[in-house]
């Protein structure tokens, strides 16, 4: 079996076993009893329209749970008597809409259920550009209490024009920022049945194609700051010589929808750039429930202690007109909040008439530090909090060992996973919230470790399966992230290849043979597309669009023949051969590997690319990168046996220490993704566990200690919370705890326990059948005793490289035959 499949051991398929991706909450065939898709008349294509739907519930049976069945576009928030009880929808592919079913607590006999819907109607990587609508019905004991489109028990509909409509985009990848003009009565519509707002007429829209949500529902935990980090004064209206105005602001048009700069009601990013911090008083005081009194030009920075994702909230009371700006970020920059660090507008604005407010952002954001600035008026600020929006089902996954540094890594990896896994696998929960390929290859492994389920991965692949075609992309090509709009026609052919590798791993971990079979046409069409770019040597040449290896010098060497891309291509051909029983593809894969080896290896290192000369010949360059070497070994072009000298150099001279030793300076260093992660895989496969333990802390400990999450790059210049980085938890389970593989369909656990200098290690890994518990510790004899508790009907297998130093008991019985 090839190395890129080392995570899973192939076993004989059992047709009687249900796949672990099949279980999901809600109806398997979603439908509405009475509700129809509706929206204010003639406005379903209007950009950034904020609409409210409410129903006043009377004589509720508080002993019976209310269920809200709901779907919509673009995003909705569910409020019960003014408090958040739901948010969605779970994202689906173009032309399909997932149906949520939220339990609504019937605490009182009378209540107001309100649904706020943002119809963005712009292309993004986060929410699809599809006409706005809401379809919702409230049920109790199977009976419809209220339904959109119903004449007798419908929802009152209003335009929530407190949210300013003509504002700039939040980022290239996400829709609009939030800016509000509020009076105290704005909340009365959510809490007072008698409060009147002018209703608008809705029109019923054509029926939508509905699909299940499948994934679990988040809970909304309220998290307070751990400290008030600083206080001080700001200066407004400072001249900025070269203001930041990126593509999300100035390139609005058919390829990037929004409101053009000249049509905006305000340009918040311009104004906030003109604000300078005049004085800083570093407080680092424990956060207090006592309100902060802020006058004009005052600010506070609140520290949540960990990088978190959710809805930003605070209570504000002002005696005269006030204006407040919130800015936020994952880290502090020069002890301040840099709201543009991620090239997105991490700012929310509020204009407030005198009165009291409970403010809560509509969109989820990612932050550790929140800066509250009063531009006008004076305010009491209290109850600052973040309402968490993250994956709910990781509580049973635990890890603890005698090296506290590794424990910090696990906590950071778990936190990173939770925030990047909700309705799909995301790259980051901040700038993009997009379902990127390649990132998902690594995050999907962690999903099984953390949840014992592949249901989110099933949804991920279902989104790629269902659309008839992907607009703006050539036939056969897969979107680099999805669900997403790619109006500019950009795609990453390498990421489409990683899709195939992940699909094979998904098949092994889920036994969802139907999904593999249904996606075969997509895979074959992709291979047909790629084959157009094969040269006379059988290698891919001049791949189009955005050829991406990783964020390092490797991205400068992608033409004309890029050898890392072809190493990946060989792996894809072989994976497709194994999934679909196509031996010719395996033969082709081997031919590609042999050609790469003949052309790329210069006797010492693998070279990244070759270029066509004027006479048409192919000339191998001298461009060599660290990540190219890892590709060669990971994708079986080379091995420690075939290239022992290179392997020795990689093991001993490369890795995190090379930034200090400066060994082989001519070889461009790798970045976090994917180079350093592939390095971890190679060390793991060769059982270099002590070294792996050391390098994990060298690479990632600073991240864990700085933000409590793991980063996109080795530096905090970009996202400090990236889903693929949670793969560190997979390394800790597999290589430190020693659980080499959990095969849930075949109910088999494989152990590879090794002495790496730890005194003890314990952990729990959830499965649908119960928790796998393992603990081992050093004993008085100098060896180790290990105890494993498996769910009923599970079998234990020992990897041949499991150390004989370990005396193992399974479910209370010692293993005598080793």
- For tokens 């095969």, what's the residue? 743
Residue 725 contacts residue 714 (beta carbons within 8 Å): no
pLDDT at 681 over 80: yes
> Can you tell me the distance from the alpha carbon of 818 to that of 800, in angstroms, rounded to the nearest whole number?
10
Domain edge (last residue) among 388, 415, 443: 388
Do 416 and 357 lie in a common domain?
A: no
Is the pLDDT score of 63 beyond 80?
A: no
CA angle 596, 550, 571 (to 5 degrees): 40
Same domain, 68 and 181: yes
Q: What is the pLDDT of residue 96?
A: 98
Q: Do residues 534 and 495 both lie within one domain?
A: yes
Asked if residue 416 belongs to a domain, the reply is yes
Identify the pLDDT of residue 14: 33
Domain match, 281 and 400 both = no
Q: Do 73 and 176 share a domain, yes or no?
A: yes
Query: Does residue 791 form part of some domain?
Result: no
Residue 120 confidence (pLDDT) above 70: yes
- Token pair 């069945």 is found at 69
With beta carbons less than 8 A apart as the criterion, state whether 575 and 556 touch: no
Segments forming the whole domain that contains residue 668: 3-17+392-751
3-state secondary structure of 290: coil
Whether residue 497 is found in the same domain as residue 546: yes
Tokens of residue 539, six digits: 């290698």
Residues 167 and 228 in one domain: no
Average pLDDT over all residues of the chain:
94
The percent of residues above 70 in pLDDT, for the chain, comes to: 96
Distance from chain centroid for Cα 434: 7
pLDDT at 406 over 80: yes
Domain-located, residue 363: yes
Same domain, 435 and 408: yes
Provide DSSP, 597-616.
HHHHB-SSSB--EEEE-TTS
pLDDT at 782: 86
Residue 689 near residue 736 (C-beta atoms within 8 A)? yes
First-last CA distance in the chain: 24
Task: Give the residue from 325, 353, 388 where a domain finishes.
Answer: 388
Q: Are the CB atoms for 235 and 297 separated by under 8 Å?
A: yes
809 found inside a domain: no
Kindly tell me if the per-residue pLDDT of 105 is higher than 90: no
Digit-coded pLDDT (tens) for 455-511: 999 999 999 999 999 999 999 999 999 999 999 999 999 999 999 999 999 999 999
* pLDDT band at residue 18 under the 50/70/90 scheme: very low
Domain boundary residue among 726, 751, 776? 751
CATH code, domain with 709: 1.50.10.10
Q: Confirm whether 799 is domain-assigned.
A: no
pLDDT tens column, 211-269: 999 999 998 999 999 999 999 999 999 999 999 999 999 999 999 999 999 999 999 99
Half-sphere exposure of 382 (CA within 13 A, CB side): 9
Closest CA to 810 of 754, 763, 749, 728: 749
Q: Tens digits of per-residue pLDDT, 144-159?
A: 999 999 998 999 999 9
Q: Residue 327: which CATH number?
A: 2.60.120.260
Assigned domain for 538 exists: yes
Coil, strand, or helix at residue 691? helix
Structure tokens at 623: 């461009």
Residue 739 lies in a domain: yes
Residues 364 and 421 in one domain: no
The pLDDT score that the predictor gives to residue 6 is 38
pLDDT of 16 higher than 90: no
Around Cβ 794, how many Cβ atoms within 10 Å? 21
Cβ proximity of 106 and 62 under 8 Å: yes
Separation between Cα atoms, residue 403 and residue 410, nearest integer Å = 11
Torsional sign, CA 766, 772, 773, 777: negative
Token pair of 160 as six digits = 């929530």
pLDDT of residue 20: 63
Q: How far apart, in whole angstroms, are the C-alpha atoms of residue 74 and residue 432?
A: 15
Residue range 369-397: average pLDDT? 96
Do the domain assignments include residue 248?
no
Q: What is the pLDDT of residues 288-340, one digit of tens each?
A: 989 999 999 999 999 999 999 999 999 999 999 999 999 999 999 999 999 99
| Burial class of residue 271 (count of CB atoms within 10 Å of its CB; 0-12, 13-18, 19+) | middle
Determine contact, residues 224/287, Cβ cutoff 8 Å.
Answer: yes
| CA nearest neighbour of 20 among 488, 447, 618, 489 | 447
CA-wise closest residue to 650 among 617, 678, 618: 678
What's the number of domains the chain is made of?
Answer: 3
Are 650 and 598 in contact by the 8 Å Cβ rule? The answer is no
Within the chain, how many helices (H) and strands (E) appear?
A: 17, 35
Tell me how far apart the alpha carbons of residues 652 and 622 are, in angstroms, rounded to a whole number: 23
> 156 and 55 in one domain?
yes
Q: Residue 763: which of 308, 307, 412, 406 has the closest Cα?
A: 406
Mean per-residue pLDDT for 526-544? 98
Sheet holding 739-743, edge to edge: 739-743, 748-751, 795-798
Q: Each residue of 641-652: pLDDT tens digit?
A: 999 999 999 999
Residue 58's pLDDT is: 87
Question: Using an 8 Å Cβ cutoff, are 393 and 768 in contact?
Answer: no
Tell whether 417 and 495 lie within a shared domain.
yes
Residue 17 has pLDDT above 70, yes or no: no
Q: E strands along 473-575, which residues? A: 561-562
Residue position matching structure tokens 């699809």: 128
Please state the φ and ψ torsions of residue 435, each to the nearest 5 degrees.
-90, 80
DSSP string for 753-801 = ---SS-SEEEEEEEETTEEEEEEEEE-TTSSEEEEEE--TT-EEEE-TT
Question: Position of tokens 């920022």?
Answer: 177
Express each pLDDT in 24-41 by its tens digit: 444 467 899 999 999 999
Contact 406, 696 (CB under 8 A): yes
Residues 178 and 226 placed together within one structural domain of the fold: no
């Amino acid at each position: 079996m090839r190395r890129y499949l080392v995570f899973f051991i192939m076993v004989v398929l059992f047709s009687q076993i249900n796949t672990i991706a099949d279980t999901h909450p809600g109806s398997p065939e979603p439908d509405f009893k009475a509700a129809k898709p509706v929206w204010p008349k003639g406005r379903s294509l209007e950009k950034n329209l904020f609409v409210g739907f409410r129903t006043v519930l009377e004589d509720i049976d508080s002993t019976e749970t209310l269920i809200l069945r709901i779907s919509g576009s673009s995003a909705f928030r569910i409020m019960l008597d003014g408090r958040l009880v739901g948010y969605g929808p779970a994202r689906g592919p173009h032309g399909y809409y997932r149906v949520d079913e939220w339990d609504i607590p019937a605490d009182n006999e009378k209540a107001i259920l309100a649904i706020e819907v943002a119809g963005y109607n712009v292309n993004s990587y986060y929410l699809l550009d599809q006409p706005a609508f809401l379809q919702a019905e409230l049920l109790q004991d199977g009976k419809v209490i209220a339904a959109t489109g119903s004449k007798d028990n419908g929802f009152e509909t209003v335009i929530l024009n407190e949210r300013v409509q003509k504002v700039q985009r939040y980022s290239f990848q996400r829709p609009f920022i939030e800016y509000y003009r509020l009076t105290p009565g704005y909340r009365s519509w959510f809490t007072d049945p008698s409060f009147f707002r002018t209703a608008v007429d809705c029109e019923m829209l054509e029926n939508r194609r509905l699909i299940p949500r499948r994934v679990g529902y988040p809970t909304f935990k309220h998290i307070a700051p751990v400290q008030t980090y600083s206080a001080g004064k700001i200066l407004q209206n400072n001249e900025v010589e070269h203001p930041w105005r990126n593509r999300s602001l100035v390139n609005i048009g058919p390829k990037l929808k929004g409101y053009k700069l000249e049509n905006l009601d305000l340009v918040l990013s311009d104004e906030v750039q003109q604000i300078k911090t005049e004085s800083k008083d570093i407080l680092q005081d424990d956060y207090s429930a006592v309100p902060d009194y802020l006058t004009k030009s005052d600010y506070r920075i609140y520290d949540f202690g960990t990088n978190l994702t959710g809805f930003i909230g605070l209570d504000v009371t002002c005696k005269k007109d006030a204006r407040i700006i919130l800015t936020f970020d994952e880290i502090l920059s020069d002890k301040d909040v840099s709201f543009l660090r991620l090239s997105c507008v991490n700012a929310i604005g509020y204009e407030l008439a005198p009165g009291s407010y409970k403010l809560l952002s509509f969109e989820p954001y990612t932050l550790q530090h929140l800066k509250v600035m009063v531009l006008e008026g004076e305010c009491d600020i209290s109850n600052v909090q973040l309402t968490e929006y993250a994956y709910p089902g990781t509580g049973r996954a635990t890890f603890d060992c005698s090296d506290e540094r590794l424990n910090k890594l696990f906590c950071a990896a778990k936190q990173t996973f939770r925030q990047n896994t909700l309705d799909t696998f995301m790259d980051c929960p901040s700038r993009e919230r997009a379902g990127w390929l390649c990132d998902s290859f690594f995050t999907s492994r962690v999903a099984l470790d953390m949840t014992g389920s592949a249901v989110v991965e099933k949804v991920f692949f279902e989104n790629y399966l269902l659309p008839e075609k992907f607009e703006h992309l050539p036939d056969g090509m897969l979107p680099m992230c999805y669900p997403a709009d790619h109006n500019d026609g950009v795609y990453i052919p390498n990421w489409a290849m990683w899709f195939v590798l992940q699909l094979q791993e998904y098949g092994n971990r889920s036994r969802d043979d139907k999904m593999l079979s249904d996606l075969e046409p997509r895979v074959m069409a992709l291979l047909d597309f790629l084959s157009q770019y094969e040269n006379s040597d059988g290698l891919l040449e001049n791949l189009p669009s955005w050829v991406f290896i990783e964020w390092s010098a490797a991205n400068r060497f992608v033409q004309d023949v890029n050898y890392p891309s072809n190493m990946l291509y060989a792996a894809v051909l072989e994976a497709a051969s194994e999934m679909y029983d196509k031996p010719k593809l395996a033969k082709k894969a081997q031919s590609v590997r042999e050609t790469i080896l003949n052309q790329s290896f210069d006797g010492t290192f693998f070279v990244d690319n070759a270029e066509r000369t004027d006479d048409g010949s192919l000339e191998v360059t001298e461009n060599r990168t660290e990540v190219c070497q890892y590709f060669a070994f990971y994708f079986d072009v080379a091995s420690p046996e075939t290239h022992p000298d290179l392997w020795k150099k990689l093991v001993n001279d490369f890795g995190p220490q090379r930034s200090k030793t400066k060994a082989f300076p001519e070889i461009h260093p790798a970045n976090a993704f994917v180079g350093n992660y592939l390095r971890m895989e190679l060390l793991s496969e060769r059982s270099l566990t002590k070294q792996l333990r050391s390098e994990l802390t060298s690479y990632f400990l600073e991240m864990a200690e700085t933000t409590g999450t793991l980063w996109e790059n080795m530096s905090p210049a970009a996202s400090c919370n990236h889903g693929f980085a949670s793969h560190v938890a997979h390394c800790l389970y597999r290589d430190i705890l020693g659980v080499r593989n959990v095969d849930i369909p075949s109910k088999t656990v494989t152990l590879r326990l090794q002495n790496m200098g730890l005194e003890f290690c314990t952990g729990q890994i959830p499965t649908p059948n119960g928790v796998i518990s393992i603990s081992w510790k050093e004993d008085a004899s100098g060896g180790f005793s290990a105890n494993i508790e498996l769910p009923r009907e599970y079998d234990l297998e020992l990897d041949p490289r499991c150390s004989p130093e370990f005396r193992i008991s399974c479910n209370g019985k010692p293993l005598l035959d080793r």
